[in-house]
Amino acid sequence: MARILLVDDDEALHDVLAMAFGDAGHVVVSAKDGVAALEVIRREPPDAIVTDVNMPRLDGFALCRRLRDAGDAPR
C-alpha cells in the first residue's frame, strides 16, 4: 500500500480520485495547491504524487520543478 499525495483544487475531481486510490488500497493524503503540497511533503514525504497542473498559488509544473531542483524527484 502506497501513501499517495493527491494535489488538486477541484473538489469533485479530487474526491473521485481519492476514492479510486483508496479503493485500490492506497493511503491518500491531500493538498489543495502546490504550496500546501510542499508543506505536506516536508512533514511526511509520500511514496507518489499525483498533481493537477492548473492550480492557484503554485501550479503542478512549478511544484515538480521545485521538487526536482531540491533533488526530491527523479529526472
User: Would you kindly state where each structural domain of the chain is located, as residue ranges?
Assistant: 3-69
Q: Which distant-in-sequence residues (6+ apart) come within 8 Å of 28 by Cβ?
A: 4, 6, 18, 21, 22
**By the 8 A CB rule, do 61 and 53 touch?**
yes
What CATH number belongs to 3-69? 3.40.50.2300
pTM: 0.89
Residue 39 host element (H or E): helix 34-43
CB burial class (10 A; 0-12, 13-18, 19+) of residue 63? Answer: buried
Query: CA 23 → CA 12, 36, 38, distances in Å?
Result: 17, 24, 25
pLDDT digits (tens, 9 = 90+) for 22-72: 999 999 999 999 999 999 999 999 999 999 999 989 999 999 999 999 886
